[in-house]
Structure 1
Amino acid sequence: MVSKSTGNWCQLLLNKIVFITGGAGHIAKAIAKTCYAHGACLVLGDLDLEKTNKVKDEILENENDKENRILVVELDVTNETSIQQAVQATLDKWKTIDVLLNTAAIATVGNIEEVTTESWSRVFDVNVRGYALMAKYIAPIFKKQNSGSIVNIASTLGLIAIPNAVPYSATKGAIIQLTRNLALDLGSFNIRVNSVSPSGINATTTYEIGESVGMNKNQLDEFIKGKCLQRVCQPEEVANLFVFLASNLCPFMTGANLVLDGGSTIA
């Protein structure tokens, strides 16, 4: 049976329980705001509870949240006990989870001779293993209800190469393939898994990576202006794509990696 994308366009995630990892991050904040505006109940998971609660407060600044639609949980995506506790806290409050948005990430850059073994382990633990572990503990919930959507944040650096970004780029390529394999393994349970690959986003991580290849903010902005749409991607644009993939607007899309780069990888 084909599910239909009906309902209010302004409430694409109405009453959906949306779990967001890396909830204190700049991109996660934009995603959380947009999901909330579309009627979702949010779980914001992060190690930094102070920053995550600030994100919650900012979302609710002009809202009357009588329904208490935002839950903040402490979450270390590299620790299985922490994940289990965060998932259980969500189930205690809302009984289920409908959407998993994996946005937790760190940016480890440098040339191959300089990056330490510890740095390699850490970046893969957070950016790849963390996504797999989140899927491990939320997939059974999705299977039980025969529905669910997982959206992973990847990057155009998982598709193209730039100097001195080996560890970070390798994790992003791994996320794209992880997404495909999860889509294959979970598809028979009506669980969709997709990824989003933005190019340079107007966020701290983009400029940190720029610095690693010898570009300051102004130089990176000028470089980006030489591309098709001549600007950086805004976090809100990433958020809109996450909502699209999380919602019922695309019930037949799974295993896809949607590139949001203003044409930067074609020229």
Structure 2
Amino acid sequence: MTERLAGKVAIITGGGRGIGAGITQRFAEEGAKIAIVQRNVPPENLVNERVIYVKADLANSVHIASAVQTVVERFGGLDILVNNAGVMFEKTVDEMTEADWDQMMDINLKAPFLLTKAAMPHLRQRGRASIVNIGSIEGLGSNPGHPAYSASKAGLHGFTAAVAVDHGHEGIRCNAIAPGWINSDLSEVYIDSLGDSARVRRELLAMHPVGRLGEPKDVGNLAVWLASEESAFVTGQVYVIDGGRTKKLPLPIA
């Protein structure tokens, strides 16, 4: 079977855990050379001759520019940028400080801008490049206590469209993935913190028409397609991947 990303070089921010790790694993399986760019060292099993780790604080513009340059020097170019890294906290407008808001925007929205800006000259040289931004269904709606998170993801969706419009003629495509509930270590900790975790799991499953929760590999599969030439006529789009959750209307019954 042909590797769909053979010979491609990709940066995946936050590629060492959760959704990012799912994307890293699938890109590696499809033949890409990958740089995981994040602040913390990823698990050893993710790093090998095809996957390197580049340390960077994504709230620091100097770190971002340096990380992109390091990847280009190491691998000889850049074909794919996956803006995956993000943060989330639960605070209403009343509870949130200006510093809280700035932190969310710095990581979830400003960092993708700075990474895209730093990567653009190298993507342009390739002529057939792809940017994949990891947004959220909360860029389309919101859970309680998420005004900053929802704003940052809605902003990322808008940024995706604008980059697609401005740079399509240069052979650079830009799309976003909007995941719903995706299983991870953090999601498990969150469920367990709610008390009656068994009930919470049952109710979560009931929200999803497909009858299961998402896995990082599900997002990785879609990211592979968006990064590959199979989606060569696709740009500026936001792809919801949520097991049908946002399409299921609630009914006032138990």
Instruction: Determine whether 1:33 maps to 2:33.
Output: no
User: CA 1:15/1:217 → structure 2, altered by over 3 Å: closer, same or farther?
Assistant: farther
CA contact (8 A) 1:109 1:209 kept: no
1:184-263 matched pairs, under 5 angstroms: 184-206=165-187, 217-227=197-207, 228-263=209-244
CA contact (8 A) 2:15 2:23 kept: no
2:59 is aligned with 1:78: yes
Return the offset for 1:147. Answer: 2.2
When residues 252 and 108 of structure 1 are mapped into structure 2, their CA distance, relative to the original with a 3 A threshold, is same
Structure 1 residue matching 2:246: 3-state secondary structure: coil
**Contact map agreement 2:191 2:201 (CA 8 A) in 1:** no
Q: In structure 1, how many angstroms separate the alpha carbons of the residues matched to 2:184 and 2:70?
A: 30
Q: Give the superposition deviation at 1:169.
A: 1.4
2:78 to 77, 97, 100: 97
Q: 31, 45, 49: which is aligned to 1:58?
A: 45
Quote how far apart the aligned CAs of 1:211 are.
8.8
Q: 1:209 to 1:167 in 2, by over 3 A?
A: farther
Q: Which amino acid aligns with 2:80?
A: V
Within 1, Cα distance between the matches of 2:241 and 2:192? 22
Deviation of 1:89 (Å): 1.2
Structure 2: 5+ residue stretches without partners: 249-254
Q: Does 1:19 align with 2:11?
A: yes
Alpha-carbon distance change, 151 to 114 in structure 1, aligned in 2, over 3 angstroms: same
Segments of structure 1 that go 5 or more residues without pairing to the other structure are 1-7
Q: CA deviation at 1:206?
A: 4.2
Q: Which amino acid aligns with 1:88?
A: Q
Taking structure 2 as the reference length, the TM-score comes to: 0.90
Q: Is the 8 A contact 1:151 1:195 kept in 2?
A: yes
Mapped partners of 2:140, 2:187: distance in 1 = 16
8 Å CA contact retained: 2:16, 2:46: no
The answer to whether the Cα contact below 8 Å between 2:78 and 2:126 also exists between their aligned partners in 1 is no
More displaced 10-residue stretch of structure 1: 93-102 or 74-83: 74-83
Query: Secondary structure, in 3 states, of the residue corresponding to 2:230?
Result: coil
Same amino acid, percent of matched pairs:
29
Give the deviation of 1:167 after TM superposition. Answer: 1.4
Shift of the alpha carbon at 1:158? 0.9
Q: How far did 1:219 drift? A: 4.1
- Equivalent position of 2:251 in the other structure: none
Partner of 1:153: 134
Matched residue SS, 1:265: helix
Instruction: After TM superposition, give the deviation of residue 69 of structure 1 in Å.
Output: 1.7
Separation (CA, whole Å) in 2 of partners of 1:25 and 1:129: 21
How far the C-alpha of 1:115 sits from its partner, in A, is: 1.4
**Structure 1 pair 218/106, CA: closer, same or farther in 2 (3 Å)?**
farther
Superposed CA RMSD in Å reads: 2.0
Instruction: Specify the code of the residue in structure 1 equivalent to 2:123.
Output: F
* Counterpart AA for 2:26: T
Query: What is the TM-score with the length of structure 1 in the denominator?
Result: 0.86
Aligned residues: 247
